[in-house]
């Protein structure tokens, strides 16, 4: 069953922890999304460009290195500058609650932390997209 | 009555809690184990005595009666000053060795002012750009009296050079310094993904380190062959065991191919394993690891020195077993995992802090984690007798099974042309990604219970624990420090050192002496790695999920 929605899963920055990103990418693909995974060590510019070029509906960022307060806002800003303001940004990683709240205030749709079920992410995307 | 009779008459007619009983890795378990399950076990051949081949029961004849394991908490954040304070805190509270966590830019060989480093400086470890930062990191800590483990791989040679130079400045000779660099690049391609150069030049740097340390830094553990990250990336226990040992054999072969004699460098190889939640599976894994290593070293590589056959290892409890939900439960998880490492005969141990799914640990959290080890060491009684689980039908049967399954993986890796080829064709990465996904689905279906995550949740999950915050000013301060260093050092000496390093990289001279010359000239890590990158290029992974 295809949802017809395209999702870019991306690993910004220098962080190499890709278990979560890959599990989510596979889970979304199994749930019928069309998934593109950037691979590791991507600059925010590369992610925003890929999102525009691939014409995705949402970008999922995975960051476990603590750089989320810099990299999330940077990707969002670049998306706006490149005319991708309608692309939804969500994410996950080692992100304290306080930071998650702040990122949501800045427009990140949702932050999923360790222990999240794939079904939660799937439900969330189906509802929002 | 034998096991089969019992199963048929007594066990099978009864009703059971669930249809299938497996380890956390999905290995099916019998309801009980009996002498029949270890009928093939030969005590002298398969277990032996502690301190004796094949070392299944431990590498020392006295184990924890002689000396407890080293309590070594992995730690680093912010600037070198911040981390130096944390080290002194840990040493005052009874920690017995240091373990440095570097930030992502340091791990990836980039300076704090590199465009790729934005937002990452000092975040998940300490920011080190040059010898000058390293001097601050160990200020007031006499390196002659302590051993230090450094989790560094791609740029391991550079950080080792910084460390040796700090020791030298403190008045200790290279020969007096002891410690470990992780320096295990194979598992970077397989699981941890912090690579810089392509595999083949990376292996050359590693053999250069092996050769240099064998000659000049004889107390240094040159490679800490690591299963930890393989497991964290989602592998099973057997995959962790098999892939790690396969990497170990690849390093041995590289050393031999570089012209070293196996007994010259093998005693300085050490290992690093994960301690996950499945208690008996983990104990069996550690015991099987020792036996496999001993057998291969003696039978396949002709090692004569018993120390070449002894698998020494560090353990860290499983970060991936911790939950963001109800984080205090993580204290209990860590205690159980730590106990399996001790009963498995570990030489050193890091216990995770309860708050590590959220951020780097607070002082309070890391103190509880250290106290957990001290309670096991001094109160539980498990340290009084050597290898106390030996002879358990279950533990011996599992140890055997893990050895056999690891051997099966060695054969499959060999068929593909060895570890490097298996990396290049994505074998390890696929095996691990499949296992990680399988595990996630088991949790989603409720086949595996994680307390507080898919059972026993409560509505209000607000944490109520404090979180360590890294001051956003760290990045700015570190960049300023770096700018000052670049302005104040002898620029032509630094240039010359880098030029000599480039020259050495193009040829086949050992790279350690020119790297040490760069360190002494206060070249930065980014400059040194940059010079090597010009010659060796950069690795790119084939993306799959």
User: CATH number for the domain including B60?
Assistant: 3.20.20.240
B32 in reach of chain A (CB within 8 A): no
Q: Which of B233, B357, B470 sits opposite A19 (nearest CB)?
A: B233
Whether residue B354 is predicted with pLDDT greater than 70 in this model: the reply is yes
Strand order in the sheet with B179-181: B74-75, B98-100, B148-150, B179-181, B220-221
Cα B287 to chain centroid, rounded:
17
Backbone angles phi, psi at A69, to 5 degrees: -70, -20
Nearest CA in chain B to A39: B543
Q: Is B525 on the interface with A (CB under 8 A)?
A: no
pLDDT, tens only, B470-502: 888 999 999 999 999 999 999 999 999 999 999
Q: Strand (E) positions, B68-192?
A: 70-71, 74-75, 98-100, 148-150, 179-181
Q: Which chain B residues have a beta carbon less than 8 Å from that of A16?
A: 188, 192-194
The ipTM of this complex is 0.90
Q: What is the pLDDT of residue B122?
A: 95
Question: What distance in Å separates the CA atoms of residue A2 and residue B542, rounded to the nearest whole number?
Answer: 26
Residue B153 lies inside a defined structural domain of this protein: yes
Q: Does the distance separating the beta carbons of B324 and A113 come in below 8 Å?
A: yes
Spatial distance between the Cα atoms of B100 and B83, rounded to a whole number of angstroms:
9
Residues of B in contact with A39 (CB under 8 A): 541, 543
Give domain status of residue B27, yes or no. Answer: no
The pLDDT-based confidence of B184 (bands split at 50, 70, 90) is: very high
Q: What is the pLDDT of residue B544?
A: 82
Please report the DSSP string for B276-296 in residue order.
-S-HHHHHHHHHHHHHHHHHH
Q: How far is B334 from chain A (nearest CA, A)?
A: 17
Q: How many CA atoms lie within 13 A of B484 on its CB side?
A: 8
B248-305 pLDDT, tens digit per residue, is 999 999 999 999 999 999 999 999 999 999 999 999 999 999 999 999 999 999 999 9
Number of H helices, E strands in chain A: 5, 5
What is the per-residue pLDDT across B123-150, written as a single tens digit (0 to 9) for each? Answer: 999 999 999 999 999 999 999 999 999 9
Minimal C-alpha gap between B149 and chain A (Å) = 20
For chain B, the domain total comes to: 1
The torsion angle over the Cα atoms of residues B81, B83, B85 and B91, rounded to 10 degrees, is: -140
Question: SS3 for B423?
Answer: helix
Tell how strand B223-226 and strand B269-275 pair up: parallel
Query: Considering the domain boundaries, does residue B143 fall inside one?
Result: yes
For residue range B413-453, what is the model confidence (pLDDT) as tens digits?
A: 999 999 999 999 999 999 999 999 999 999 999 999 999 99
User: What confidence tier does B462 reach under pLDDT thresholds 50, 70, 90?
Assistant: low
Token pair 């490149």 is found at A82
pLDDT at B469: 85
Residue B64 belongs to what domain range? 40-444
Token couple for B62: 């006295």
**Does the pLDDT at position B94 exceed 90?**
no
Chain segment A70-111, per-residue pLDDT in tens: 999 999 999 999 999 999 999 999 999 899 999 999 999 999
pLDDT at B86: 93
Least confident window among B226-235, B393-402, B455-464: B455-464
How far, in Å, CA of A75 to CA of B240, rounded? 35
| DSSP H/E element including B246 | helix B237-257
Q: pLDDT category, A3, cuts 50, 70, 90?
A: confident
Query: Is B34 a member of any domain?
Result: no
Does B12 reside within a domain?
no
User: Who contacts B125 (Cβ-Cβ below 8 Å, separation ≥6)?
Assistant: B76, B77, B100, B101, B102, B103, B104, B106, B107, B151
CA torsion, ordered B480, B483, B488, B491, to nearest 10 deg: 170
Nearest CA in chain A to B109: A14
Q: What is the pLDDT of residue A114?
A: 87
What does the pLDDT read at residue B30?
97
Q: Is residue B252 one of the residues assigned to a domain?
A: yes
B293-306 per-position pLDDT tens digit: 999 999 999 999 99
CA distances from B352 to B331, B375, B428 (A): 8, 15, 26
Average pLDDT, chain B: 95
Check: CB of residue B100 under 8 Å from CB of residue B489: no
> What's the average model confidence in pLDDT over B225-233?
97
Q: From the list A26, A64, A66, which residue is nearest B437 (CB)? A: A26
Shortest distance between the Cα of A35 and any Cα of chain B, in A, equals 10
Size of interface A-B (CB pairs under 8 A): 120
Question: Which chain B positions have a beta carbon within 8 Å of A67's beta carbon?
Answer: 104, 118-120, 123
Q: Is the pLDDT of residue A115 over 90?
A: no
Averaged over B164-176, what is the pLDDT?
A: 97
B141 touches chain A (CB under 8 A): no
Q: Considering chain B, what percentage of its residues have pLDDT values greater than 90?
A: 92
In a domain, B472, yes or no: no
Among partner residues B193, B359, B472, which is closest to A40 by beta-carbon distance?
A: B193
Q: Which two tokens stand for residue B152?
A: 């560094």
Q: Average pLDDT in the B93-108 region?
A: 92
| Chain A interface with B: residues with Cβ < 8 Å | 9, 13-19, 21-23, 25-27, 29, 35, 37-41, 43, 64-71, 74, 94-98, 113-115, 117-119
Q: Which CATH architecture has domain A6-124?
A: 3-Layer(aba) Sandwich (3.40)
Tokens of residue B534, six digits? 């010009």
Buried b (16+ CB within 10 A) or exposed e, A15-45: bbbbbbbbbbbbbbbebebbbbbbbbbbbbe
In a domain, B349, yes or no: yes
| Domain ranges for chain A | 6-124
Q: Do A19 and B110 touch (CB under 8 A)?
A: no
């Amino acid at each position: 069953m295809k949802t017809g929605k395209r999702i870019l899963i991306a690993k910004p920055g220098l962080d190499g922890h890709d278990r979560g990103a890959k599990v989510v990418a596979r889970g979304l693909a199994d749930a019928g999304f069309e998934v593109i995974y950037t691979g590791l060590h991507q600059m925010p510019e590369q992610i925003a460009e890929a999102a525009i070029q691939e014409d995705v509906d949402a970008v999922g960022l995975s960051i476990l290195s603590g750089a989320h307060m810099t990299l999330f806002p940077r990707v969002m800003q670049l998306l706006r500058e490149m005319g991708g303001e309608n692309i939804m940004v969500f994410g996950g990683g080692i992100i304290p609650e306080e930071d998650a709240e702040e990122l949501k205030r800045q427009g990140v749709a949702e932050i999923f932390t360790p222990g999240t079920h794939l079904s939660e992410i799937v439900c969330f995307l189906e509802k929002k997209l | 009555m034998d096991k089969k009779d019992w199963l048929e008459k007594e066990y099978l007619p009864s009703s059971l809690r669930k249809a299938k009983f497996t380890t956390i890795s999905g290995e099916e378990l019998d309801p009980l184990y009996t002498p029949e399950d270890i009928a093939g076990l030969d005590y002298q051949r398969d277990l032996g005595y502690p301190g004796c081949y094949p070392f299944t029961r431990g590498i020392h004849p006295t184990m924890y009666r002689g000396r407890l394991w080293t309590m070594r908490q992995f730690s680093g954040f912010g600037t070198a000053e911040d981390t130096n304070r944390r080290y002194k805190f840990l040493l005052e509270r009874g920690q017995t060795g240091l373990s440095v966590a570097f930030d992502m830019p340091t791990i990836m060989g980039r300076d704090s002012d590199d465009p790729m480093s934005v937002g990452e400086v000092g975040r998940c470890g300490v920011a080190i750009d040059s010898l000058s930062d390293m001097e601050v990191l160990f200020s007031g800590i006499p390196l002659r009296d302590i051993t230090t483990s450094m989790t560094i791989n791609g740029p391991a040679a550079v950080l080792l050079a910084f460390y040796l130079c700090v020791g030298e400045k403190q008045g200790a000779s290279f020969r007096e310094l002891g410690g470990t660099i992780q320096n295990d690049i194979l598992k970077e391609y397989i699981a941890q993904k912090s690579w810089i150069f392509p595999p083949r030049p990376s292996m050359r740097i590693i053999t250069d380190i092996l050769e240099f340390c064998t000659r000049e830094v004889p107390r240094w553990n040159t490679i800490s062959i690591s299963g930890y990250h393989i497991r964290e990336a989602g592998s099973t226990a057997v995959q962790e065991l098999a892939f790690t040992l396969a990497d170990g054999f690849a390093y041995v072969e590289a050393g031999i191919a570089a012209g070293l004699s196996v007994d010259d460098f093998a005693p300085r190889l050490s290992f690093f394993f994960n301690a996950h939640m499945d208690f008996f599976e983990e104990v069996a894994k550690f015991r099987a690891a020792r036996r496999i290593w001993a057998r291969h070293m003696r039978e396949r590589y002709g090692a004569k020195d018993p120390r070449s056959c002894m698998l020494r290892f560090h353990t860290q409890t499983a970060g991936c077993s911790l939950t963001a939900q109800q984080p205090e439960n993580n204290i209990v998880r860590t205690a159980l995992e730590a106990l399996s490492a001790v009963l498995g005969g570990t030489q050193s141990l890091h216990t995770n802090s309860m708050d590590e799914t959220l951020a780097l640990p607070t002082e309070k959290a890391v103190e509880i984690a250290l106290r957990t080890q001290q309670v096991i060491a001094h109160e539980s009684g498990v340290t009084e007798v050597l290898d106390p689980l030996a002879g358990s039908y279950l533990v011996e049967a599992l140890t055997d099974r893990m050895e056999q399954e690891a051997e099966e993986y060695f054969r499959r890796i060999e068929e593909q042309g060895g570890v490097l080829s298996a990396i290049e064709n994505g074998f390890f990465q696929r095996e691990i990604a499949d296992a990680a996904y399988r595990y996630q689905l088991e949790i989603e279906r409720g086949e595996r219970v994680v307390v507080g995550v898919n059972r026993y949740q409560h509505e209000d999950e607000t944490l109520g624990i404090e979180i360590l915050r890294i001051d956003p000013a760290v990045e700015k301060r570190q960049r300023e420090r770096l700018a000052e260093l670049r302005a104040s050092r002898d620029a032509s000496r630094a240039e010359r050192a880098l030029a000599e390093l480039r020259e050495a990289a193009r040829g086949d001279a050992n790279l350690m002496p020119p790297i040490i010359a760069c360190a002494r000239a206060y070249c930065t890590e980014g400059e040194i790695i940059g010079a090597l990158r010009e010659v060796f290029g950069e690795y790119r992974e084939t993306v799959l999920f």
